[in-house]
Amino acid sequence: MAKRSIIHMLNPMIKNSPFDINMALDAGYDMIIPYENTTLEEVAGMTQDAIFSRGPAGVKKTGMFIGGRDIGLAMDMLDAAKKAMVPPFEISVFADPSGAFTTAAALVACIERELKKNFDQDLSGARAVVFGGTGPVGLATAVLAAEQGAITTIVDHFSIDTALEYAEEAKRRYGVDLRATTAASDADKARLLSNADVVFCTAKAGVQVLSAPVLADAKQLKVAGDVNAVAPLGIEGVDLMHNGEPLIHATASPKAVGIGALAIGNVKYKLQHELLKQTLTAEKPVYLDFRNAIGEARKLV
């Protein structure tokens, strides 16, 4: 009897995401097995239960997905799963907590495309500001931008200490240098935008982060991307479907363009689908996180 394909979906939170479950099914898996409240200490044992129960042929039809919301924990769980493999008993593992990794990769790839198309440059040497930079999407975005050579600042709305803590974690985990600050007022935001080339808006949904008066102070802004799809949108003047349209409120930077949440989300959706397919169809086991995702995202844009 032919073995059916199975993906084990590990989540340290109390519920698995219906979005991720739907995506795994649409990527071709026959069986979706969710696990809730999974701890880091349990990952190795669960991984070995998954690999040793199916035989060398069965592991080729077995995958593992790591969700949750904490990207540091997701990376630790991915590493624990990888270390628990015993070749040839080895399966593919994909970490994408809260969709943060695929969203960040899609956002960065869209920004890179507009920089190249409109300004004939890439992120290397660009000054990038990540609003909501201590959230899961924001931190992954910041790390990706910094890895491409951008001078990257993460912004926490409330606490400089929180921003500094996450910058230190990024240095420890990924070897990138991030600047850290807070911006609770429009004056703080205008100061940050005054010499920014790129803005990544990854803050809480339903909160306008950058208003028209703030954008008016952006003297060298080139591209701004917003992942917030809930009104009010994060950047005034950037609509959901904008995909390189003029950023009308950045009056001091008349060539600046914006990218909206649904344009980014379209790439994110295709990206997550592609990476889930890879866990099922790759000839050799793959271990996927946001750093793998950026390469695929570039192909999609």
Mean pLDDT, the chain, integer: 96
- Element (DSSP H or E) covering residue 263: helix 261-281
Confidence of residue 188 (pLDDT cuts 50, 70, 90): very high
- Please say if the pLDDT value at position 1 is more than 70: no
**Structurally, what CATH architecture does the domain formed by 6-99+267-300 represent?**
3-Layer(aba) Sandwich (3.40)
Statement: residue 128 has pLDDT above 70: yes
Token pair recorded at residue 221:
């802004």
Predicted confidence band of residue 57 (pLDDT cuts 50, 70, 90):
confident
pLDDT at 17: 93
pLDDT at residue 116 tops 70: yes
Does the predicted TM-score (pTM) go above 0.75? Answer: yes
Q: What residue has token string 């904008």?
A: 242
Share of the chain above pLDDT 90, in %: 95
Per-residue model confidence (pLDDT) at position 258: 98
pLDDT, average across residues 214-220: 95
The answer to whether residue 209 scores a pLDDT higher than 70 is yes
Which tokens is 281 given?
């169809």
Decide if 184 contacts 160 (C-beta within 8 A).
no
Specify the pLDDT at position 288. Answer: 98
| pLDDT score, position 111 | 98
Q: Which CATH superfamily is domain 103-264 in?
A: NAD(P)-binding Rossmann-like Domain (3.40.50.720)
The confidence score (pLDDT) of residue 55 equals 86
The token pair at 29 is: 């898996």
pLDDT attached to residue 22:
97
Domain ranges of the chain: 6-99+267-300, 103-264
What are the b/e assignments for 181-196, b being 16+ CB within 10 Å? bbbeeeeebbebbeeb
- The enclosing H or E element of 33 equals strand 31-35
Fold identical between 6-99+267-300 and 103-264?
Answer: yes
Whether 122 has a pLDDT exceeding 70, the answer reads: yes
Taking only the tens place, the pLDDT of each residue in 272-301 is: 999 999 999 999 999 999 989 999 999 999
Q: Are residues 265 and 255 in contact, defined by beta-carbon separation less than 8 angstroms? A: no
Helix (H, G, I), strand (E, B) or coil at 199: strand
Q: What share of the chain is helix, strand, coil (3-state, %, to 5)?
A: 45, 20, 35
Q: Are 261 and 227 spatial neighbours (Cβ–Cβ below 8 Å)? A: yes
The radius of gyration of the chain from alpha carbons, rounded to an integer in Å, stands at: 20
42 has a pLDDT exceeding 70: yes
pLDDT digits (tens, 9 = 90+) for 60-106: 999 999 999 999 999 999 999 999 999 999 999 999 999 999 999 99
